[in-house]
């Protein structure tokens, strides 16, 4: 069996990786809250990611304390809490995967707000049209039915003098696809985090066993 010091090194390495992943996932949740005005569904999605990351930070405190002090009690506490956290995180991520399209749709409502502002004052949609290479909410027809010509941002190279350069794709679907892709990425990262936590839990069991063996040997 590997020595206690070797097991601790593996734990510290995986600890750093897990905490970095958790920090990235928390950052994504904060990004959702700070860059949008999400409704209930969008907010629940943001807090779900933050909760997954924060849970990892809290539980790993016991692991670090147990490993540094070679405290069996703290390490066992970590294992119990980690198993409970993994179950909770798995449930949260399952619902995030299942409800991905709904969350993406609700987060995309920010574009509807921008379109309403565009109808009142020109230029509100330009950031989306330039970012996603799109035009209007659903299509360039959105401008036409509102008795306006599509702006230069609706044309390739911003050249409205060439009708063939008009971009036909609306921004709503592009913005929704953007959120779907982001949610896919962070759902995968969350699954990787859960997988690493399972590995850490197993190694923590080995650490407990190693610490007990070291203490038994010290009695002789």
In the prediction, which pLDDT does 133 show? 94
Asked if 70 and 123 sit in the same domain, the reply is no
> Using one digit for the tens of pLDDT, what is the confidence trace for 119-155?
998 899 999 999 999 999 999 999 999 999 999 999 9
* Helix-helix angle 100-107:171-218, to 10 degrees: 120
Total of domains in the chain: 2
Same domain, 20 and 66: yes
Instruction: Give yes or no: residues 149 and 212 share one domain.
Output: no
- Measured CA to CA, the distance from residue 207 to residue 220 in angstroms comes to 21
pLDDT of residue 77: 79
What radius of gyration, in Å, describes the C-alpha atoms of the chain?
Answer: 25
- Contact in structure between 165 and 159 (CB atoms under 8 Å): yes
So what's the pLDDT on residue 149?
A: 92
Do 66 and 136 reside in the same domain of the chain? no
- 67 and 8 Cβ atoms separated by less than 8 Å: yes
Tell me, yes or no, whether 43 and 85 share the same domain.
yes
Residue 38: predicted pLDDT: 63
- 15 shares its domain with 101: yes
Spans in the chain with pLDDT lower than 50: 1
pTM of the model: 0.86
Number of Cβ within 10 Å of residue 193's Cβ equals 25
pLDDT of residue 56: 92
Task: With CA atoms as reference, report the closest residue to 67 among 56, 80, 76, 57.
Answer: 76
């Amino acid at each position: 069996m590997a020595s206690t010091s070797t097991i601790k090194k593996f734990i510290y390495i995986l600890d750093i990786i897990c905490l970095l992943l958790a920090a990235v996932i928390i950052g994504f949740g904060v990004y959702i809250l700070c860059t949008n005005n999400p409704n209930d569904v969008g907010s629940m999605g943001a807090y779900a990611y933050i909760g997954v990351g924060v849970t990892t930070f809290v539980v790993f405190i016991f692991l670090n304390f147990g490993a540094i002090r070679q405290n069996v009690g703290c390490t066992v506490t970590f294992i119990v809490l980690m198993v409970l956290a993994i179950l909770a995180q798995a449930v949260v991520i399952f619902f995030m995967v299942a409800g991905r399209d709904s969350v993406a749709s609700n987060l995309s409502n920010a574009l509807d707000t921008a379109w309403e502002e565009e109808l009142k004052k020109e230029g509100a949609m330009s950031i989306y049209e330039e970012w996603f290479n799109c035009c209007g909410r659903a299509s360039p027809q959105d401008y036409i039915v509102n008795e306006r010509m599509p702006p230069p941002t609706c044309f390739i190279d911003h050249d409205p003098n060439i009708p063939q350069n008009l971009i036909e794709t609306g921004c709503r679907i592009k913005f929704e696809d953007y959120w779907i892709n982001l949610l896919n990425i962070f759902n995968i990262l969350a699954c990787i985090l859960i997988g690493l936590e399972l590995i850490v839990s197993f190694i923590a069991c080995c650490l407990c066993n190693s610490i007990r063996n070291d203490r038994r040997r010290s009695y002789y």
